[in-house]
A and B are shown apart, each in its own frame.
Chain A
Amino acid sequence: MELTNRRYLVTGAASGIGRATSVLLSGLGATLACVDLDQSGLRETGSLLVGQGHVFRTLDLLDLSSIPGWISGIAEEFGKLHGFVHAAGAPAPWPLKALSPPLWRRVLTVNTEAAMILSQAFQKRSIFAGEHGSIVFISSVIARAGSPAATAYAMTKAALEGFARSVALELARVPIRVNCVAPGFVQTPMLERMDALWGPEQLERVEALHPLGFGRAYDIACAVAFLLADTARWITGSVLVVDGGYTAQ
């Protein structure tokens, strides 16, 4: 999983899976453009990265129209990209009766629409480095399994996976590969917020449903690195489920 001289954009790099991914990719030799809304989180991620040349941008993915502009700026300053990882995501832990369009549309914008605009912008010759093209979206097991009070979140992730499959076909001739990683329940700030909602008993029950227990953000990062590197040169349109066996039982 060699990534020396490769350049990647990572969204959601300030915490959780985005942070663990950035750290691992830097350790494998990649140079990174790290993007997040959380400036201090980005700074802390920066202090954990290995190597030189990484750049950091505080940006709001809710502003879709600004994406082509800033990714263009990054490519100019930082160098053309070999791929990107969309790890930014907003949770949506609302029961059905609490849903409203404005509420879920924000989550849809960050989780799904931003990924679509990033993909569209990325494939331009002014942004894409022209070889080793690989895009990874962080999805969720919730895209294909189900869970109460996860309806809006599940919708955004299922939509993301559907988008990924078809865009994989469109970009296959370039080639730019497009794959999803679907994590199960991973110890991250997002899970900690669920913990507060569920309580310790419910959390224990969920953990018991995982043959291998809860995972770490690092486990997801390893799968992302595998998909970005040449180790996955013949893999596209796939969903790599990393969930400790949760969906197998």
Chain B
Amino acid sequence: MPETQNLYTLITGASSGIGRAIAERLSEKRHLILHGRDLQRLEACRSHCAHPEMHLLWMHDFCDLEGLAPSLTKLLAETDIAVDCLVHSAAVLTLLPVRAVTHAAFSKVLDANLVSAAEIVSLLVKRRVNRQQLKNVLFISSIASNFGAPGFSMYIASKSGLDGLMRALAVELGPGVRVNSILPGGIRTPMTTSLLEDREVVDKLARDYPLGLGEMGDIVDAAEFLTSESSRWITGQQFVVDGGRSINISI
């Protein structure tokens, strides 16, 4: 079979939110590996994709970091495919005031959001596992990466770490591999639903966001751009998609 037929885009966190929305868009033109923790939701995602039969499922909980590499290696070996593009959208949002933060809680967040990304990239640049096919890496980070907010210390540390990892990888793996992050602002997803139930929060967001709250489609368009040839000279960058929130210090 020609090489390109065996090249897949791996999307972590594809069972919901931004990961799922990106999967549905990219499914039109690519083979996908849809990653998540919940088989039912993964299958629901696949059924909403274009050409469902073209895509594979990979279930693994990133709390189990030790088992990640063997699990993904097995999938690639059994199917004889390689991954040329990684979109890392899996993340947990755990809010805790800093006085209640524990090592165990912090580790869970870091493992799921940050170390998992490093593990996967490390695996995908191993010649015997992925035949040097990796070309493009995209992390779904957050504008929180560059700011602070009460209760968000673990989450922000993980996203800031993710962007640091992104820059290090861009420099180390260039020119063969491009690595970038998208930093979304506040949008409605399953992860942010409970936050957005609070009326006061929603009102503040409307004031803080010059272009109002965003939608998943806004992030998907940016993801499509950054994983296409139109962005072939962009690497090592935080790509902010936030309706102007980050630059808004007006009263």
A222 at the interface (CB under 8 A from B): yes
- The total of Cβ contacts below 8 Å across the A-B interface reads 112
Q: A219-B233, A223-B234, A238-B240 are in contact. Are A245 and B247 (CB under 8 A)?
A: no
Chain A hits for B218, CB < 8 A: 233-235
Interfacial residues of chain A within 201-231, with CB under 8 A of chain B in the complex: 211-213, 215-216, 219, 222-223, 225-226, 230-231
User: Within 8 Å CB of B170, what residues of A?
Assistant: 211, 245, 248-249
Query: CA of A3 to CA of B230 in the docked complex: distance in angstroms?
Result: 15
Q: Which residue of chain A is the closest to B220 with respect to CB atoms?
A: A231
Verify A211–B234 contact, CB threshold 8 A. no
Q: Given the known inter-chain contacts A169-B244, A222-B230, please indicate yes or no for A175 contacting B211, CB distance below 8 A.
A: yes
Judge whether A248 and B236 touch: CB under 8 Å: yes
Q: Does B232 contact A (CB under 8 A)?
A: yes
Asked if B111 CB lies within 8 Å of chain A CBs, one says no
Decide: B233 and A242 in contact? CB cutoff 8 A.
yes
Interface mask (A25-41 → B, CB under 8 Å = 1, otherwise 0): 00000000000000000
> Nearest Cβ distance between residue A245 and chain B, in whole angstroms?
4
Within the complex, the shortest CB–CB distance from A247 to chain B, in Å, comes to 7
B-side contacts of A240, CB under 8 Å:
234, 237, 239
Q: Determine the chain B residues whose CB is within 8 A of the CB of A242 once the complex forms.
A: 231, 233-234
B211: contacting residue among A172, A243, A249, CB under 8 A: A172
On chain A, the residues within 8 Å of B167 by CB distance are 248-249
Within 8 A of A (CB), among B205-250: 210-211, 214-215, 218, 221-222, 224-225, 230-237, 239-244, 246-248, 250
Q: Is the CB of A248 within 8 A of B171?
A: yes
Q: From the candidates A173, A175, A223, A234, name the one contacting B241 in the complex (CB within 8 A).
A: A234
Task: Give complex CA distance A168, B218 in Å.
Answer: 18
Q: Are A168 and B210 in contact (CB under 8 A)?
A: yes
Whether B148 is near chain A, meaning CB under 8 Å from some CB there, is: no
* Tier of interface size on chain B: 20 to 34
The chain B residue with its CB closest to the CB of A186 is B233
* Complex interface: chain A residues within 8 A of B237 (CB): 240-241, 248
When A245-B235, A248-B171 are in contact, do A234 and B250 touch as well, CB less than 8 Å? Answer: no
- Nearest residue (CB) in A for B250 is A169
B241 close to A235 (CB less than 8 A): yes
Whether A236 is near chain B, meaning CB under 8 Å from some CB there, is yes
Q: Which residues of A does B touch, CB under 8 Å?
A: 1, 165, 168-169, 172-173, 175, 177, 211-213, 215-216, 219, 222-223, 225-226, 230-238, 240-245, 247-249
Q: Are A231 and B236 in contact (CB under 8 A)?
A: no
- Cβ of B88 < 8 Å from any Cβ of A? no
B174 within 8 A of A: yes
Is B150 engaged at the interface, CB distance under 8 Å to the other chain?
A: no
Q: Are A237 and B246 in contact, CB atoms less than 8 angstroms apart?
A: yes
Which of the residues B174, B230, B247 comes within 8 Å of A165, measured between beta carbons? B247
Given A216-B233, A223-B234: A169 touches B211 (CB 8 Å cut-off): no
Answer whether residue B97 sits at the interface, using C-beta atoms and an 8 A cutoff: no
State whether A223 and B174 are in contact (beta carbons under 8 Å apart), knowing that A169-B250, A231-B225 are contacts in the complex. Answer: no
Q: Is the CB of B233 within 8 A of A231?
A: no
7 cross-chain CB contacts under 8 A? A211-B175, A226-B225, A232-B241, A234-B218, A235-B241, A248-B167, A248-B170
Q: How far is the CB of B239 from chain A (nearest CB, A)?
A: 7
**CA of A67 to CA of B24 in the docked complex: distance in angstroms?**
46
Q: Is B31 an interface residue (CB 8 A)?
A: no
**B179-213 near A? 1/0 per residue, CB < 8 Å:** 00000010000000000000000000000001100
Task: Confirm or deny: B55 has a beta carbon within 8 angstroms of a beta carbon on chain A.
Answer: no
- From B215, B233, B243, give the contact of A244 (CB < 8 A): B233
Flag if A212 contacts B178 (CB, 8 Å).
yes
